[in-house]
């Protein structure tokens, strides 16, 4: 697809509103993958070692670490808000600019229809969105060891 055909060619305004709607699984988004840096950052947040954090909150499947949780959409949701927002994983930091969200149909039907941050805040230029998407694809889940700039 060429840049002129992308619905976000003029950029997208987005600013997290902290409502936690993106943290609630809607069937197909059920995993939060964790890079080493994610686990290290979260461990520092909880003032524990990376190994202890990993043992308590993560599980490894198909070579990738992911948050483990049985009853909730995310173990760090408290009162429908992210209790670890400043330390949140890379996957969460890059929402809503995930490859699977970046078609006009999905964006309008699934993302913009329930995410209150769409259309608010700063403008993310198409090139910036493409960099986020490329990194997401490169890491095949979250093998990334360096994080994107904080948003």
pTM for the complete prediction? 0.78
Sheet-wide strand order for 64-67: 33-34, 64-67, 58-61
**Is the residue at 88 inside a domain?**
yes
Tens digit of pLDDT for each residue in 42-56?
999 999 999 999 999
The answer to the question of residue 149 being in a domain is no
Measured in whole angstroms, the distance separating CA 136 from the mean position of its chain's CA atoms is: 10
The reported pLDDT for the residue numbered 148 is: 44
For the chain, the domain total comes to 1
Least confident of 8-12, 71-75, 94-98, 145-149: 145-149
- For residue 66, tell me if it sits in a domain: yes
Tokens found for residue 90: 């890379």
Q: Which domain holds residue 20?
A: 3-139
- Tell me whether residue 144 is in a domain: no
User: Is residue 145 in some structural domain?
Assistant: no
Query: What band does 25 get if pLDDT is binned at 50, 70 and 90?
Result: low
pLDDT band (50, 70, 90) for residue 59: very high
pLDDT, residue 137, reads 60
Residue 26 has pLDDT above 60, yes or no: no
Q: Answer yes or no: is 102 within a domain.
A: yes
Q: Mind listing the pLDDT tens digit for each residue in 111-151?
A: 998 899 999 999 999 999 999 888 776 554 444 444 444 44
Q: What is the mean pLDDT of the chain?
A: 83
Is there a domain that residue 97 lies in? yes
- Is a pLDDT exceeding 50 seen at residue 2? no
Residue of 116, 57, 113, 51 lying closest to 83 (CA atoms): 57
Classify residue 148: in a domain, yes or no.
Answer: no
**Nearest C-alpha neighbor of 150 from the set 16, 8, 1, 17:** 16
């Amino acid at each position: 697809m060429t840049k002129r055909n992308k619905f976000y060619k003029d950029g997208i305004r987005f600013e997290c509103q902290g409502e936690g709607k993106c943290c609630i699984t809607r069937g197909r988004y059920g995993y939060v993958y964790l890079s080493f840096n994610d686990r290290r950052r979260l461990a520092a947040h909880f003032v524990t070692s990376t190994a202890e954090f990993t043992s308590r909150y993560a599980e490894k499947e198909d070579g990738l670490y992911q948050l483990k949780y049985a009853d909730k959409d995310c173990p760090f949701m408290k009162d429908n808000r992210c209790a670890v927002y400043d330390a949140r994983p890379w996957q969460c930091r890059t929402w809503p600019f995930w490859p699977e969200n970046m078609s006009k149909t999905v964006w309008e039907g699934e993302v913009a229809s329930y995410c209150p941050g769409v259309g608010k805040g700063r403008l993310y230029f198409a090139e910036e969105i493409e960099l986020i998407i490329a990194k997401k694809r490169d890491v095949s889940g979250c093998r990334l060891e360096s994080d994107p700039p904080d948003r």
